[in-house]
Structure 1
Amino acid sequence: MPVLATVALRARDAVKGVWREAAKFGVVGALAFVVDNGGYNLLVFGLPGGAEGGPMRTSPVQASVIATTAAALFSWVGNRYWTYRDQHREKVTQELVLFLVANGVGLAITAGTVFASRQLLGLDSALSDNTARIFGWVLATLFRFYAYRRYVFVAP
């Protein structure tokens, strides 16, 4: 088989593998997004139609941290046992620590966008909070995908 054909087949298989991985990562991420944003909105704004707001209405950054932490734990289970089930480390503790570090950076990115929206821009509506969180979530997701592939879910 000519060298060019071999290289083309290997490239095709690599792209196919990354797309499959990205799709699984995306499904886990989409569900984690629901946990994260649903939790945040319940904590800050309460149930729809509620007049008083949520229990953390005066602490939106802390609410973001709590919601993102819950979503990160959900994400670890989903990614470890589904997306990267053939690539995870045998030492669960080491993997979890690396995962938490990567998610700590992601959490800082997401909470940072809420902080910037609230403190630097002076915005405090549900729309501005959710816009800031979605922007932060997109940036954090790109970082996490890279970190998971490169550092967290790698066979020893």
Structure 2
Amino acid sequence: MSDRWRRVRTEAYRFLAVGGLATVVAVVIFNFLVHGFHTGWEAPLAGQPYFAFVIANLIGMVVSYRGSRTWVFRDRPPRTADGGRLLFVVINVATMLIPIACLWFSRNVLGLDDPYSDNAAANVIGLFLGMVARFYLFRTLVFQKPVVLAELKQHPLQVFELAELDVIEEPTAPSTSDPARRPGP
């Protein structure tokens, strides 16, 4: 197996682990807010499952960013000065529409509003589809391709995309301000 595929596989496993932790956090918060865990009192957002889903997943997003930045993509420097935070949030909010659409479909088209149906629609099917989209988008847009010195030495121009290369133009005439160097002995 090539180093590239080994790196992709390692990042995918780590991404699944961090995403799993963030999902557990979001699912627990979502279920508490919408269904109350049978605590004996009314769930705080029982009539607002979409808002509760957004709140729970924003908290899960914080967990996901910290894990992605420090463990999953630690060998990939962020593309932007803010550490990729803004693009990370934009991608997460955009892909959050996938599980919300699954939750909406389950509740409004199928007429299912029990805890099992909500979790199957939003936290299983929707989050799986969103996770696939986020993994691809994070790898390509938020975190840069890592530079491996062995690859750079063997294929110096294939490691970077042309847009990432800084081309430094050499002056056409020698500088008159610098004294000419004498050839060595």
The TM-score, its normalising length taken from structure 2, stands at 0.73
1:94 shift after superposition: 6.1
Q: 1:126 aligns with which of 92, 106, 115?
A: 115
Q: 2:139 aligns with which of 138, 146, 149?
A: 149
Q: Contact 1:44/1:53 (CA < 8 Å) preserved in 2?
A: no
1:51 shift after superposition: 3.8
1:81 shift after superposition: 1.0
List per-residue Cα deviations over 1:60-114 (Å, max 9, x = no partner).
Answer: 0100011111111110111011111121326442611110111012211111111
The answer to whether structure 1 residue 109 and structure 2 residue 98 are counterparts is yes
Unaligned runs of 5+ in 2: 146-163, 165-185
Q: Contact 2:79/2:144 (CA < 8 Å) preserved in 1?
A: no
Equivalent residue, structure 1, for 2:76 = 87
- What is the CA–CA distance in structure 2 between the aligned matches of 1:92 and 1:120, rounded to whole Å? 44
Q: 1:24 aligns with which of 14, 18, 37?
A: 14
Q: 1:127 to 1:53 in 2, by over 3 A?
A: farther
1:124 shift after superposition: 0.6
- What is the CA–CA distance in structure 1 between the aligned matches of 2:11 and 2:79, rounded to whole Å? 20
Equivalent residue, structure 1, for 2:152 = none
The answer to whether structure 1 residue 39 and structure 2 residue 19 are counterparts is no
Amino acid at match of 1:18: V
The answer to whether structure 1 residue 67 and structure 2 residue 56 are counterparts is yes
Structure having the larger proportion of residues in helix: 1
1:126 shift after superposition: 0.7
The TM-score, its normalising length taken from structure 1, stands at 0.86
RMSD of Structure 2 on Structure 1 (CA): 1.7
Q: Contact 1:32/1:75 (CA < 8 Å) preserved in 2?
A: yes
Equivalent residue, structure 1, for 2:178 = none
Larger of the two Rg values belongs to structure:
2
Q: Which has the higher contact order (CA 8 A, sep 6+)?
A: 1
Runs of 4+ deviating beyond 6 Å: none
1:53 shift after superposition: 3.9
Amino acid at match of 2:107: R
1:117 shift after superposition: 1.1
Moved more, 107-116 or 25-34: 107-116
Q: Contact 1:79/1:85 (CA < 8 Å) preserved in 2?
A: yes
What is the total number of aligned residue pairs between the two structures? 145
Partner of 2:32: helix, strand, or coil? helix
- What is the CA–CA distance in structure 2 between the aligned matches of 1:36 and 1:43, rounded to whole Å? 10
